[in-house]
């Protein structure tokens, strides 16, 4: 027999499903109307008989803007990437631009990556903008996302769009919106635009292009962007000889970075660069990898094999739209080891801080940006240099917002755990072009000074504490998966853990309610950053566990961070194992394995 609470849940779930079923039927009826093309209607009718489950998933909700814009599987329906969902978003954005910049010439720039349909999707977006009297600069071929961010300001545009789904599987595509500062949309603009989009009917979309308003761009912007990348990513301490002496293996993982990274390295003076030829040609199928994500060790296997063949000092791989990078360097035993995003961020930040310090440029008016789920070590590191570390929500749009919100402060750099970094403010999104160069600069300098990238990382741990992080992602697809993720977060929020792996929980930070509770003192204080569906537990021994539903994938993510002191470089292996064992114990205690 069902208990009262179970009956209540059952009724709520039944009510939810009936409302969802009704919405699905209403959406399908709309998409079978005369406005939609015959191919779309034929596909819907086939799905009704051949795959009703997929049909329901295609129409049960509208695609939403997450931490990295709007991403989804390509296909028909409101919950898919197609000409109509892109068209509706672009129509709403066009209307908002006219409201925001009345009686002005409005300009936008559009780029796209290597994914299937990215080029025709980009033209559809350009058509809708131009149909609404907006001038469009459309890249002639695929380009890296950081170049799009740069181009927004360089071309004095009010808006920018890039068609990409970052590192998602081949069946995905996406739509990222940038504003006049070159950063992605943030509040209040995102909410206002979404409300406007939701108020539109599909029949409001104007697809009739004004071709005279669409201009093709290419090498003229490339040259300026690459030169700016060389200027911002170079360390003044290096010499021509130290750069020539560094052996680099680079893989584009079939993505857009091939259009910018090799030339950037060449102009910076790196002549010993080995490309993974089999992964250099852009290809939306990503045929040589299971996932085009440099966070995944398997994605860099071909690059690591080549590194052994040519005895390279460093391996770097970038994701399809070239905003993330994965790095491997040689450890104390001369073996290639993969760094995680937090380690990369720590090293890049340290060397930028050293550069500023050695120039006598640190005066208390600088800051570094990071995020709530990245390593706490970043705050410890910046504090040692007398530089503030500003912490925001997940996603580089929040770091870009910091630059805009604090114009009197110099932005040194910023990073997050998900393998992204931004050097200076000439680009306002994570930038694997400039960051690849900076990684090589660090490797070249340390090699020339009888050290290495890896040794400097360990010495940084000795000085500031040894931190270890791990991310556990659990995939929950479809309608039921979304409900299950919500249930996990609700349960964690209503019944917070009081201890983790035997260590008392000191604080519970709930970014949805904007309240941080100290469980030991029984006090609370406000969280002074925007709301988000994130919970962070901090324990008595300094461990942290964050829970967060992904904003771009059907996943719930658990971020685990532990730390301890490191007495010497020789003690690193044992200390690292201790921290790894501690993470495993936390995973077991929380039943995440």
pLDDT for position 259: 98
Q: Are 163 and 115 in contact (CB under 8 A)?
A: yes
CATH T-level topology, domain 467-589: TATA-Binding Protein (3.30.310)
pLDDT for position 477: 86
Domain 69-217: which CATH number of 1.10.287.180, 3.40.640.10, 3.40.120.10, 3.30.420.40: 3.40.120.10
Q: Are 486 and 497 in contact (CB under 8 A)?
A: no
- In order along its 593 residues, the chain shows pLDDT tens digits of 223 333 233 334 445 457 888 999 999 999 999 999 999 999 999 999 999 999 999 999 998 876 567 899 999 999 999 999 999 999 999 999 999 999 999 999 999 999 999 999 999 999 999 999 999 999 999 999 999 999 999 999 999 999 999 989 999 999 999 999 999 998 888 889 999 999 999 999 999 999 999 999 999 999 999 999 999 999 999 999 999 999 999 999 999 999 999 999 999 999 999 999 999 999 999 999 999 999 999 999 999 999 999 999 999 999 999 999 999 999 999 999 999 999 999 999 999 999 999 999 999 999 999 999 999 999 999 999 999 999 999 999 999 999 999 999 999 999 999 999 999 999 999 999 999 999 999 999 999 999 999 999 999 999 999 999 999 999 998 888 888 999 999 999 999 999 999 999 999 999 999 999 999 999 999 999 999 999 999 999 999 999 999 877 789 999 999 999 999 999 999 999 999 999 999 999 999 97
Catalytic option among 130, 166, 374, 418 = 166
Give the Cα separation of 101 and 93 in Å (integer): 12
pLDDT for position 482: 87
Phi/psi zone of residue 10: left (φ > 0), alpha (ψ -120 to 50 degrees), beta?
Answer: alpha
pLDDT for position 397: 93
pTM confidence score: 0.93
Domain 238-464, what architecture?
Answer: 3-Layer(aba) Sandwich (3.40)
pLDDT for position 2: 27
pLDDT for position 329: 98
Give the Cα separation of 497 and 491 in Å (integer): 10
pLDDT for position 102: 96
pLDDT for position 394: 93
Using alpha carbons, list the distances in angstroms from residue 142 to 78, 238, 278, 300, 312.
Answer: 26, 32, 18, 22, 29
Buried residues in 445-455 as b, exposed as e (16+ CB within 10 A)? bbbbeeebbbb
CB atoms inside a 10 Å sphere around CB 201:
10
- The 3-state DSSP class for residue 88 equals helix
Q: Are 173 and 115 in contact (CB under 8 A)?
A: yes
pLDDT for position 6: 32
Q: Are 471 and 371 in contact (CB under 8 A)?
A: no
- Give the start-to-end residue ranges of the domains of the chain: 16-60, 69-217, 238-464, 467-589
Written as one string, the DSSP assignment of 553-564 is SSEEEEEEEEEE
pLDDT for position 15: 52
pLDDT for position 478: 82
| Domain 69-217 matches domain 467-589 at the CATH topology level | no
pLDDT tens for each residue of 86-110: 999 999 999 999 999 999 999 999 9
Active site residue 166: yes
Give the Cα separation of 591 and 348 in Å (integer): 34
pLDDT for position 67: 58
Give the Cα separation of 324 and 263 in Å (integer): 18
Give the Cα separation of 205 and 132 in Å (integer): 10
């Amino acid at each position: 027999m069902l208990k009262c609470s179970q009956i209540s849940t059952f009724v709520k779930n039944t009510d939810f499903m009936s409302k969802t079923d009704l919405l699905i039927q209403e959406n399908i009826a709309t998409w079978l109307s005369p406005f939609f093309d015959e191919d779309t209607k034929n596909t819907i009718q086939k799905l009704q008989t051949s795959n009703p489950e997929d049909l329901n998933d295609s129409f049960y909700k509208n695609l939403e803007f997450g931490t990295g814009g709007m991403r989804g599987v390509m296909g028909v329906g409101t919950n898919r990437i197609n000409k109509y969902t892109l068209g509706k978003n672009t129509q709403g954005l066009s209307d908002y631009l006219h409201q925001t910049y009345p009686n002005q010439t409005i300009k936008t720039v559009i780029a796209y990556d290597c994914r299937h349909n990215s080029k025709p999707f980009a033209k559809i977006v350009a058509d809708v903008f131009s149909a609404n009297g907006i001038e469009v600069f459309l890249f002639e071929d695929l380009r890296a996302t950081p170049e799009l961010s740069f181009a927004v300001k360089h071309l004095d545009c009010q808006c920018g769009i890039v068609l990409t789904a970052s590192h998602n599987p081949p069946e995905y595509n996406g739509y990222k919106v940038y504003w006049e500062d070159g950063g992605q949309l943030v509040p209040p603009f995102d909410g206002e635009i979404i409300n406007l989009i939701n108020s539109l009917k599909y029949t409001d979309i104007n697809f009739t292009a004004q071709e005279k308003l669409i201009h093709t761009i290419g090498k003229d912007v490339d040259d300026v962007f690459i030169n700016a990348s060389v200027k911002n990513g170079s360390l003044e301490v290096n010499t021509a000889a130290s750069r020539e002496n560094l052996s680099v293996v680079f893989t584009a993982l079939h993505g857009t970075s091939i259009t910018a990274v090799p030339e950037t390295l060449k102009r910076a003076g790196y002549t010993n660069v080995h490309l993974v030829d089999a992964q250099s040609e852009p290809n939306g199928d990503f045929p040589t990898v299971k996932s085009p994500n440099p966070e995944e060790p398997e994605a860099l296997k071909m690059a690591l094999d080549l590194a052994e063949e040519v005895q390279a000092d460093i391996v770097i791989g970038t994701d399809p739209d070239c905003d993330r990078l994965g790095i491997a360097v040689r450890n104390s035993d001369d073996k290639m080891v993969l760094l995680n995003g937090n380690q990369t961020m720590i090293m890049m930040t340290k060397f930028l801080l050293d550069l500023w310090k050695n120039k006598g440029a640190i005066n208390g008016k600088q800051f570094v940006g990071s995020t709530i789920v990245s390593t706490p070590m970043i705050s410890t590191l910046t504090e040692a240099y007398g530089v503030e570390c500003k912490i925001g929500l997940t996603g580089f749009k929040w770091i870009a917002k910091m630059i805009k919100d604090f114009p009197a402060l110099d932005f040194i750099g910023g990073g997050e755990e998900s393998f992204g970094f931004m050097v200076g403010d000439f680009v306002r999104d994570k930038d694997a072009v400039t960051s690849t160069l900076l990684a090589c600069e660090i490797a070249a300098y340390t090699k020339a000074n009888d050290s290495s990238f890896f040794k400097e990382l360990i010495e940084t741990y000795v000085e500031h504490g040894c931190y270890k992080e791990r991310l556990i992602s659990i995939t929950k697809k479809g309608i039921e998966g979304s409900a299950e993720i919500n249930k996990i977060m609700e349960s964690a929020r209503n019944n917070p853990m009081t201890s983790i792996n035997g260590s008392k929980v000191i604080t519970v930070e709930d970014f949805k309610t904007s309240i941080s509770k100290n469980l030991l003192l029984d006090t609370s204080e406000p969280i002074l950053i925007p709301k988000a569906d994130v919970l962070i537990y901090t324990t008595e021994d300094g461990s942290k566990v964050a829970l967060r539903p992904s904003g771009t994938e059907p996943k719930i993510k658990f971020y685990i961070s532990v730390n301890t002191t490191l007495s010497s470089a020789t003690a690193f292996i044992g200390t690292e194992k201790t921290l790894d064992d501690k993470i495993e114990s936390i995973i077991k205690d929380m039943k995440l394995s």
